[in-house]
Chains A and B, each alone.
Chain A
Amino acid sequence: MPDLPPPKSHAVTRAQMERFDLGVPVRGISIPGLKSRSNRLEIALGILFLAVTVSAQAHSEGGEAGGFINGFTHPLLGADHIVAMVAVGLWGAFLGAPAVWLLPVVFPTVMAFGGALGVMGVPLPAIETGIAVSGIVLGLMVLLASRPPIWVAAVLVGIFAIFHGHAHGTELPSSANPMTYSIGFVISTGLLHLSGIALGLLTRFPWGITLVRGCGGVIACVGLGFLLHWF
């Protein structure tokens, strides 16, 4: 039996790289055949440093870009708002069609009306209480897998949307660009809904139902915490 040639190695050696003018392997970059523990450590440290870096603040946030950033980050800076938005998406996904699209359509629209009321200075009582109660109720709806008629769900979500919108409307920074602020604000809110819907789609799996209902319980607890905080 003839001798078989040695198996070809796919690793690129230093000699091959120099012959084909590929340059000398750079420290810290993983090259087949040249792996070492120190290289992996350097890569890990590099990724870690990249992850913890912050953007340069050479330019102030103003004008149209600043307005968009202000509007986009505004809903993301309040945990009570986040849990309510995600709960709307969760509940919509739990209820299935047409609630899965109807609730995310109703909420931003009615929220904008609430925001307009806040901007115009129309007073609304117990705003923070309403926001906290929205987290409790929506979380309980998901936790209990409640399936009311679609119009009841839409009205309930719409009522809570007014409280959220009013709270945000009163907090509009006077320096922000109104147009880009509005767009960023609405997009951010809608993306929170979509996050909830994406999580709610796990209800297709048996374990997903338990997980989603558990998320509803957590949201209700967070809402209760905010309610107790305000009292």
Chain B
Amino acid sequence: MVLCGLALVAGQRTKITPPLIAFLLASAGGIGFSLLGPRLGIPEALPLLPCVLAGLAGVIAAARIPLRSVALLGLFAAGGFVLGWDSGQDPAEPWVMFKLLLGAWIGLAVALLNFANYAAMCPKRPWTKIGFRVLGSWVLASSILFLAFTMRVTRPNAAPTESAPNQKG
């Protein structure tokens, strides 16, 4: 969802090379930072951070919020860093570890470059702008729901409530 959200944001812009470079560098940094995970400890909120970033990207895409280049760079860098950090692997032999992390980085890079390229290739027509907005709202809505579901899972005391009998929805 983060990748889709960032690709939508990139597709709404004309100059997307600097943000993509920021993403690639930051994701490499995040993957490297994940090596320090056993020492620093992995925060419980780490799985939620990609969701928050996806929601942020969804808001920006759905509302077509104009961003300054610095903010755009920051968004892509944050997304790359968090995804790279979240792609950490279990400890293994150095060479195996290197190959695992390199594969994770290549996967992130290829995925975002593909999505962003396809989004940027879309013709600049009114219907594509509407489509990007709608897709951005879907990314945002999915992120919100996922956050809520995850927080319910992490809070065992928060059981679902029965709002009405024979509820069909």
**A interface, CB within 8 angstroms of B:** 74-75, 77-81, 100-101, 104-106, 108-109, 111-113, 115-116, 118-121, 123-124, 127-128, 131, 164, 166-172, 174, 178-179, 181-183, 185-187, 190
Decide: B149 and A171 in contact? CB cutoff 8 A. Answer: no
Q: Complex formed: what's the CA distance from A169 to B159 in Å?
A: 12
B162 located at the interface, meaning its Cβ lies under 8 Å from any Cβ of chain A in the complex: yes
B132-162 interface code vs A (CB 8 A; 1 in, 0 out) = 0110111011111111111111000011111
Decide: A170 and B162 in contact? CB cutoff 8 A. Answer: yes
B167 located at the interface, meaning its Cβ lies under 8 Å from any Cβ of chain A in the complex: yes
Decide: A120 and B151 in contact? CB cutoff 8 A. Answer: yes
Decide: A120 and B152 in contact? CB cutoff 8 A. Answer: yes
Q: State how many angstroms separate the Cβ of B136 from the closest Cβ of chain A.
A: 8
Q: State how many angstroms separate the Cβ of B30 from the closest Cβ of chain A.
A: 20
Decide: A119 and B140 in contact? CB cutoff 8 A. Answer: no
Decide: A127 and B161 in contact? CB cutoff 8 A. Answer: no
Provided the pairs A183-B142, A187-B138 are in contact, do residues A172 and B149 lie with their beta carbons within 8 angstroms? yes
Q: State how many angstroms separate the Cβ of A107 from the closest Cβ of chain B.
A: 8
Decide: A109 and B161 in contact? CB cutoff 8 A. Answer: no
Q: Complex formed: what's the CA distance from A35 to B167 in Å?
A: 54
Decide: B141 and A111 in contact? CB cutoff 8 A. Answer: yes
With beta carbons under 8 angstroms apart, the residue of A106, A128, A168, A178 that contacts B153 is: A178
Decide: A178 and B159 in contact? CB cutoff 8 A. Answer: no
Decide: B167 and A128 in contact? CB cutoff 8 A. Answer: yes
Find chain A residues with CB under 8 A from B145 CB.
112, 115-116, 119, 169, 178, 181-182, 185-186
Decide: A183 and B158 in contact? CB cutoff 8 A. Answer: no
**B interface, CB within 8 angstroms of A:** 1, 62, 130, 133-134, 136-138, 140-153, 158-164, 167-169
Q: Which of B1, B144, B153, B167 is most buried by chain A, counting CB atoms within 10 A of its CB?
A: B144
Find chain B residues with CB under 8 A from A190 CB.
134, 137-138
With beta carbons under 8 angstroms apart, the residue of A78, A104, A123 that contacts B169 is: A78
Q: State how many angstroms separate the Cβ of B37 from the closest Cβ of chain A.
A: 22
Find chain A residues with CB under 8 A from B163 CB.
118, 123-124, 127-128, 166-167, 170
20 A-B residue contacts at CB 8 Å?
A74-B169, A80-B169, A81-B169, A104-B134, A105-B133, A108-B140, A112-B142, A115-B148, A119-B145, A119-B151, A119-B152, A124-B163, A128-B167, A167-B163, A169-B148, A178-B146, A179-B146, A186-B141, A190-B137, A190-B138
Find chain B residues with CB under 8 A from A168 CB.
169
Decide: B168 and A108 in contact? CB cutoff 8 A. Answer: no
With beta carbons under 8 angstroms apart, the residue of B136, B137, B147, B162 that contacts A116 is: B147
Q: Complex formed: what's the CA distance from A172 to B152 in Å?
A: 11
Q: State how many angstroms separate the Cβ of B86 from the closest Cβ of chain A.
A: 13
Find chain B residues with CB under 8 A from A108 CB.
137-138, 140-141
Decide: B169 and A171 in contact? CB cutoff 8 A. Answer: yes
